[in-house]
Amino acid sequence: MSDITRLTLAEARDALAAKKISSLDLTKAHIEAIEKARGLNAYIVETPDKALDMAKAADARIASGNAGPLDGLPLGIKDLYATEGVHMQACSHILDGFKPPYESTVTSQLWRDGAVMLGKLNMDEFAMGSSNETSYYGPVASPWLPAGWDADKGRAALKGDKKGLLVPGGSSGGSSSAVAAHLCLAATATDTGGSIRQPAAFTGTVGIKPTYGRCSRWGVAAFASSLDQAGPIARTVRDTAIMLRSMAGYDAKDSTSVNTPVPDYEKSVGASIKGKKIGIPKEYRIDGMPAEIEALWQKGIEWLRAAGAEIVDISLPHTKTALPAYYIVAPAEASSNLARYDGVRYGLRVPGKDISSMYENTRAEGFGREVRRRIMIGTYVLSAGYYDAYYVRAQKIRTLIKRDFELAYQDGIDAILTPATPSAAFGIGEKGSGDPVEMYLNDVFTVTVNMAGLPGLAVPGGLSASGLPLGLQLIGRPFEEETLFSVAEVIEQAAGRISLPQAWW
């Protein structure tokens, strides 16, 4: 085998089971690839020693016939997840030096199932961002080169400020970049407003945000508790299905975790979608949407119709309110969730003349600009005199958004098809420097799903005119992720697997 990092997760699993490769070799290949790809800045911490130890242990289990579902498969972990004894900073300065004495439930399940940890992945600070430019560790570059760029130009940009290179999306930009650049077989990610689906769409990978309550939030630093969900990014629909099975599950340590059995999602990959009713919401046809996005959507509709699905025009009338309502609910929760970063028990402390100025200095220096801005807007919308006008109203609107979906599902809709993003990936440094709202518009199609707690999946549908990946989004009924995998696989087959970039970095 020429380059075993090009295997899909499922292929690698099967090759390991067939003893065609060893986890040690697979892991070493990834460690090498990561070392060569440091310019992308996808990994902020590499844990090669740990990876090799885990790989050896996995090989022993495989040899003895006791392999777990993910045994020997090297993964990257988003820095939002607590990994015991290993750096965890949510890519923020404020958690300087923090090494958690505990392991998140989701990652512990991955290790339980035999997976190998390669390191911690870059992300937007505390998952706040859509381009991975808010990280304390600097931006991540997408392995996709902008149109007209050659490898030399790309490498030169990597050595500099990366301006002009493409963003991998955010907040799980380290995850999407690493998966697309073959720096891991799959990665964990999290999604509060689109942070799994938008990066997947920007990099030609597959990402699923499961139903709220499907994956435990325990041990994952909170951004907005009522919206946050863990999920995987991988290179194929099947690979995300395999990952989700290990990541999902009830956790008594999370009061919002739902106690319902985890199906073998992989079984739904390849299942027929004949007779499935696919809703096409007219409200997602927004003003100024590029024609190629509209065209992609149409192609998606045709593929599903050809596979025997019934296409139904539906209306989700409160779609337009989701993004502004999100920018009240999410910052409000974040302003409170991030209050614990106060320089007392862990992380950065910047001295001050008294306790109050110690807090203020620590938080001013420890948080980046986007995080500070969101904490402030969140503080404002919860403050006396504004709470009802902003927060309570936004939560009422959330009820309306969820009701829109419920009505569609009551009418027999099995899944909803929309574009994943309003555009292809943009350049590093291109957006949001003047008006923060410009960046927020990236999440216009994904954020409704978080507001309603539903599962959403992004799958590549094709390339833009400039040769960049474009994604389609599927939105499902609560806890019916299996339908999404079945439908997504139809799109994946019809669109043809995207050919990910060769290493130019």
Q: Nearest approach, Cβ of 348 to another protein (angstroms)?
A: 7
- How many whole angstroms separate alpha carbon 257 and alpha carbon 265? 19
Number of residues that bind another protein (CB under 8 A): 99
Q: Mark the segment that binds another protein (CB under 8 A) among 180-188, 223-231, 267-275, 455-463.
A: 223-231
Task: Choose between 212 and 445: whose C-beta lies nearer to another protein.
Answer: 212
CA 407 to chain centroid? 28
DSSP-based three-state secondary structure for 456: strand
418 burial level (CB within 10 Å; 0-12, 13-18, 19+): buried
Q: Which of residues 429-488 bind another protein (CB under 8 A)?
A: 435-437, 440, 451-453, 478
Residue (of 74, 65, 52) closest to 19 by Cα position? 65
Q: Which of residues 480-499 bind another protein (CB under 8 A)?
A: none
- How many whole angstroms separate alpha carbon 324 and alpha carbon 301? 28
Token pair for residue 339? 């209050």
Measure the CA dihedral 203/205/210/212, to 10°.
-10
- Contacting another protein (CB under 8 A), which of 91, 222, 316, 447? 222
The reply to whether 407 sits near another protein by the rule CB under 8 A is no
281 burial level (CB within 10 Å; 0-12, 13-18, 19+): buried
The reply to whether 340 sits near another protein by the rule CB under 8 A is yes
Q: Are strands 74-78 and 116-121 parallel, antiparallel or unpaired?
A: parallel
Q: Mark the segment that binds another protein (CB under 8 A) among 47-55, 147-155, 178-186, 337-345.
A: 337-345
Residues in contact with 267: Cβ distance below 8 Å, sequence separation at least 6, in sequence order = 482
* From 22, 104, 108, 195, the catalytic residue: 195
Task: Choose between 149 and 380: whose C-beta lies nearer to another protein.
Answer: 380
The reply to whether 352 sits near another protein by the rule CB under 8 A is yes
The reply to whether 189 sits near another protein by the rule CB under 8 A is no
396 counts as catalytic? no
- How many whole angstroms separate alpha carbon 175 and alpha carbon 187? 5
The reply to whether 8 sits near another protein by the rule CB under 8 A is no
- Contacting another protein (CB under 8 A), which of 25, 53, 360, 430? 360
* From 22, 171, 335, 486, the catalytic residue: 171
Q: How many helices (H) and strands (E) are present in the chain, helices listed first?
A: 17, 11
Q: Compose the 244-283 pattern: x for residues touching another protein by CB under 8 A, - for all others.
A: --------xxxxx-x-------------------------
Task: Choose between 46 and 360: whose C-beta lies nearer to another protein.
Answer: 360
Token pair for residue 127? 């998952």
78 counts as catalytic? yes
Task: Choose between 294 and 435: whose C-beta lies nearer to another protein.
Answer: 435
Q: Which of residues 300-319 bind another protein (CB under 8 A)?
A: 318
416 burial level (CB within 10 Å; 0-12, 13-18, 19+): buried
The reply to whether 78 sits near another protein by the rule CB under 8 A is no
Q: Nearest approach, Cβ of 387 to another protein (angstroms)?
A: 7
Q: How many CB atoms lie within 10 A of CB 361?
A: 17
Q: Which of residues 232-251 bind another protein (CB under 8 A)?
A: none
Q: Output helix, strand, coil percentages for the chain, rounded to the nearest 5.
A: 45, 15, 45
195 counts as catalytic? yes
The reply to whether 217 sits near another protein by the rule CB under 8 A is yes
Active-site residues, by number, are 78, 171, 195
